[in-house]
Structure 1
Amino acid sequence: MPHKIPESVLVVIHTPAMEVLLIERADRPGFWQSVTGSLDTPDEPLEQTAARELFEETGIHADGATIRLHDWRVSNVYEIYPVWRHRYAPGVTHNTEHVFSVCVPRDIPILLSPREHLHYAWLPHLEAADRCFSSSNAEAILQLPWHVSS
């Protein structure tokens, strides 16, 4: 299996009422997060990565018309948790994460990839931020009201 590319996307899914969708990791029960995923190839466009991961992990299709990804043009560099470093090339310890959001209707069907996630929950954005295990994910959720209004 090839090594993961240490560049990824974070997609915060929310409703117009600022409810945020969180998904629970299958490989780490109790770890809740927004949609995340690494680039498939070094030249994969970030928006394509975000749309692909959004669909793979939730079944939501960003069609560009009714469901549009919003690129925050924000990047976070963080240390990769040691438990997941084996997925990357030897010596890789940090990842660059690019933040996106997408506004969807509350009743949109959610289809989880059982290989990746166990459950999902819609939560008010402050409660969602508190539940995230990742500090960059929690911070993005806390910044959501500002990005939605801009």
Structure 2
Amino acid sequence: MKQYKQPISVLVVIHTAALEVLLLERASHAGYWQSVTGSREATEALIETAHREVLEETGLDSHHFRLSDWQQTNTYEIFPEWRHRYAPGVTQNTEHVFSLELPAIQPVRIAPGEHLAYAWHPWQEAAERCFSASNRDAILALPSRQP
């Protein structure tokens, strides 16, 4: 029996205190830059999904930094080319927004099957580079979420 992805995911905007934002280039779509994203597995808590995805996609252990649940969700249409990963008839995903604040830029180890490259950008530039509107909006909201 095929295991389908859940249409419940996390978006984790990784940034420094100076608002430098980490972006990852998708392996399946060169030129598509984004923050860490990923689907919930089984019944894991969303915060655990965020911790797992950050570790898998960047090699960073988010338990050592400030991971914040924004208590914000975005619902969007799943691109047709990715719908085969979901149960038949599933066309929308609910994304839960998190941020991870690092004290400074950290070395990153990308997941080769998922990403081609990574780059750190000032928050405004990072927002402009994102292909996802919800990711862009989360980056643009970072300054208002600073302590």
1:72-83 matched pairs, under 5 angstroms: 72-83=70-81
**What is residue 57 of structure 2 aligned with on the other side?**
57
> 1:108: Cα distance to partner?
1.4
Unmatched tracts of structure 1, length 5 or more: none
Are the equivalent residues in 2 in contact too, given 1:79–1:93 (CA < 8 A)?
A: yes
1:86 to 84, 87, 92: 84
What's the counterpart of residue 44 of structure 2? 44
Structure 1: which amino acid aligns with 2:51? A
Give the conservation status (yes or no) of the 8 Å contact 1:6–1:88.
yes
User: Is the Cα–Cα contact under 8 Å of residues 59 and 112 in structure 1 kept in the other structure?
Assistant: yes
Count of aligned pairs: 146
Superposed CA offset, 1:101-132 (max 9, x none): 01113341200010110100100111101100
Letter in 2 for 1:3: Y
What is the deviation of 1:83?
A: 1.2
CA RMSD in angstroms comes to: 1.0
Q: TM-score, normalization: structure 2?
A: 0.96
Q: TM-score, normalised on structure 1?
A: 0.94
2:114 paired with 1:113: no
SS of the residue 1:54 aligns to: helix
Q: In the alignment, which residue of structure 1 is the partner of 2:18?
A: 17
The aligned counterpart of 1:143 is 141
Instruction: Please state whether the residue corresponding to 1:106 is helix, strand or coil.
Output: coil
Q: How far, CA to CA, are the matches of 2:105 and 2:6 in structure 1?
A: 34
Tell me how far apart the structure 2 counterparts of residues 17 and 62 of structure 1 sit (CA, whole Å). 18
> 2:140, 2:38 → 1: CA distance?
20
Classify the secondary structure of the residue corresponding to 1:40: coil
8 A contact 1:72–1:147 mirrored in 2: no
